[in-house]
Amino acid sequence: MMLKRLLLTLALALSALPARAEELRLVEVLSSPERTETLKHLVAGFEARHPGTHVEITSLAWGSAFEKLATMVAAGDIPDVVEMPDRWLSLYAGNGQLESLEPYLAGWPETKGLNDRALTVARSVADTAYMLPYGFYLRALYYNKAVFRQAGIAEPPKTLEELHADAARIAQLPGKSGYCLRGGPGGLNGWVMFGASIAGGNAFFHDDGTSTLNDPGWVAGTSWLIDLYQKGLAPKDSVNWGFNEVVAGFYTGTCAMVDQDPDALIALKARMKAEDFGVAPWPKGPNGKAYPTLGFAGWSIFKRSAHKDLAWDLVVALNDPAGNLAWNQQTGALPIYTAAAHDPLYAGAIYQGWFAELADPDVVPTLMPTYLPGFAYFADSLVVRSSQQALLGQISPATMNKQWAAYLTKARRKQAEGVKP
């Protein structure tokens, strides 16, 4: 009898304890203070709707995020959900490390509201959705109106020739440079935009599978940007600048122009008057066309997650129409939902530069070949190292382009042979 009472008491005590909490791990890689705060707010709402669930957020600085996430995964320290930039998707999906989201998308009511581009990029590896994008990053030209006024320049440049002339004029002002060069992490976009716009085309490969990047036109394009830097039209230390540095260089007025996507808007709106900066379409090259890069990022679930269904619920909380709009108010990304294009967020004058690009037949958005094996290493390691050497005069532009072309040609060959990223 005593034993029965003891067991009954123990059972009652155990039943009174809260259920075992489930923990999800989320890694953010395109981190900024404003974005992280928004992420925490969205996650708090998810936790409130899922009692007993806690989400641990790890925010990695973009400049070292590629290496840090790779180290975590290699050590078995694998999160459930990860912010997935376009350039990493082929690496992790190709290695079989990401969960297919196709079954989830098939049963999700909001899938029908996604625009065609969102589903296309989601399925950019093996025609399978290994990520759900949260937005698109189309590059355009930010210009500092206050500095332009000081230099006596009335409007943003419409051609690369005008951009160079404006940069030279601005550089004559004390303590000012014309262009915010991104010579460090994430700089590939600028190299591709200048290269393609000078070359007059954005194809990365010839029909035979060899890379175009060491063709004379592309070499002329990268030489153009290197010349801009070496003539002192960009800050000397911008050879090492990443995202945060180019944005800070712009809002402090250190440099008056920068190629950026809407992601920079949040920091600029917080630090600049609306009348002191603008966004214009990317300037056109000698053939009358412009080739701004179009990137994307989203959310992926690792295959080794022990809580895949719950992880999907978290992705939904971040990326349903309400969550996605709140997130894009901080990231500035262009929308994934067809209906969101008409939201007041995108109706302001500041977004018209991007929508003008999308409406202009002579502006051709350029998608990076992120599907290639080893593209993440190419973008985040090889390009950064070799471009810095070229900017500093340690190697020639032709040598740099030759290295890039050799790597991409080999990667294209591996892809054709079915080699995983």
Using CA atoms, how far residue 58 sits from 22, 53, 80, 245, in Å, is 17, 16, 11, 22
Which residues fall within 8 angstroms of residue 374, CB to CB, at 6 or more apart? 91, 407, 411, 414, 421
pLDDT surpassing 50 at residue 2: no
Q: What is the pLDDT of residue 308?
A: 98
Number of helical (H) and strand (E) elements in the chain, helices listed first: 18, 9
Q: What is the pTM of this model?
A: 0.79
What's the pLDDT tens digit per position in 145-175? 999 999 999 999 999 999 999 999 999 999 9
Q: What is the pLDDT of residue 21?
A: 64
pLDDT surpassing 60 at residue 12: no
CA–CA gap between residue 290 and residue 288 (Å, rounded): 7
Q: What is the mean pLDDT of residues 75-82?
A: 97
Structural domains in the chain plus CATH codes: 23-136+295-351 (3.40.190.10), 140-292+372-416 (3.40.190.10)
Q: What is the mean pLDDT of residues 294-308?
A: 96
Cα-only R_g, the chain: 24
